Structure 1
């Protein structure tokens, strides 16, 4: 892990993960991952929110990072939306500030980013897409709904082994305000804590 990212991770208190409701939802994800790990099968996770622009990307990046941190093998994390827009720039800025290296692969209305947690890591690819995009797995994955709108609007995800609601408040509420940077940082850390809580429980 890059040094600044290691410093960010060191500040997370995943062992003090709060909230019984969130713990219960997280347990569904833990059970899915543990079942796959125990069986020696790939762990495919698709994090879904409405626009695939904020929370789903944060969850994808932090889940993949947590899997690497705890040395959980064969984990591949994806993200998608109920519609395609673009990764909101503040998300990339927030992850960069927290220690990730991010490079723009393609410009345009829907830029494509490479996101790395360490020099020799395979880059995570960040861009907005629908949850059933060919870029994402079509079968044998868990669909994790990171917003209540996507959760309510997509009662069925074709091909998913499991559908898990794990919503987070949208940092979009702060867009254009003096609090924007702080709100995005806090939401990123909240999602990071949740993902590290999940993966720290997995036993090899």
Structure 2
């Protein structure tokens, strides 16, 4: 099989190549397996892979998940992957998330400045940037059918037993780095959560046979 060389930014590639999926527990791998199965089934059927990462405010964990998932699809050369994010309510992408991603090599520009800023988030030289902003899960920006809804926080998981249009609803929850806002550990803890999400999504996409 001929593979296209990834155009990921070098700094992001360096971060990815230091990730260690062996740190993921067997219990956690069981949590990730339904997402692996969803992606693999779409690859085998040669269908588009749509994944909507959902948390309450669409401000932290869902964006980190969306961006790392799109990046890992590029890294592993899995085609036709389209990642989205949404919340049970719209707030704003938290600035520390943007800073954390920039520290890992993402190129981020502010397209629109208001109470809910819009960002261009680039992970590769020749790929379309991810458009990052806070939105409700059923926003017109997001898919309406044939997608997997990934519940990245327990509050959204409990509060949204049904996601309209979702083909699969998969809880993969992460602890909220918001707990450390305005503390000396804020930068460290956001980076820690970002790298956890990156490591788990690295594992997910590494399991796909394309």
Q: Distance in 2 between matches of 1:124 and 1:17?
A: 28
Matches within 5 A, 1:87-126: 87-126=93-132
Q: TM-score, normalised by structure 2?
A: 0.95
Q: Distance in 2 between matches of 1:154 and 1:22?
A: 22
In the alignment, is residue 77 of structure 1 matched against residue 53 of structure 2? no
Secondary structure in 2 matching 1:151: helix
CA contact (8 A) 1:17 1:194 kept: no
Matches within 5 A, 1:156-195: 156-195=162-201
- Root-mean-square deviation (CA, aligned residues, Å) is 0.7
Secondary structure in 1 matching 2:111: strand
Find the partner of 1:22 among 20, 28, 35.
Answer: 28
Q: TM-score, normalised by structure 1?
A: 0.98
Corresponding residue of 2:4: none
Find the partner of 2:53 among 41, 47, 51.
Answer: 47
Structure 1, unaligned runs of 5 or more: none
Structure 1 runs (4+) deviating above 4 angstroms are none
Secondary structure in 2 matching 1:12: coil
Q: Distance in 2 between matches of 1:150 and 1:29?
A: 18
Secondary structure in 2 matching 1:5: helix
Shift of 1:203: 0.4
Q: Deviations over 1:77-136 (max 9, x none)?
A: 000000000000000000000110001111100000011112211101100000010100
Q: Distance in 2 between matches of 1:67 and 1:132?
A: 23
Shift of 1:6: 1.4
Secondary structure in 1 matching 2:182: coil
Secondary structure in 2 matching 1:144: strand
Q: Distance in 1 between matches of 2:127 and 2:78?
A: 14
In the alignment, is residue 56 of structure 1 matched against residue 74 of structure 2? no
CA contact (8 A) 2:24 2:200 kept: no
Matches within 5 A, 1:142-157: 142-157=148-163
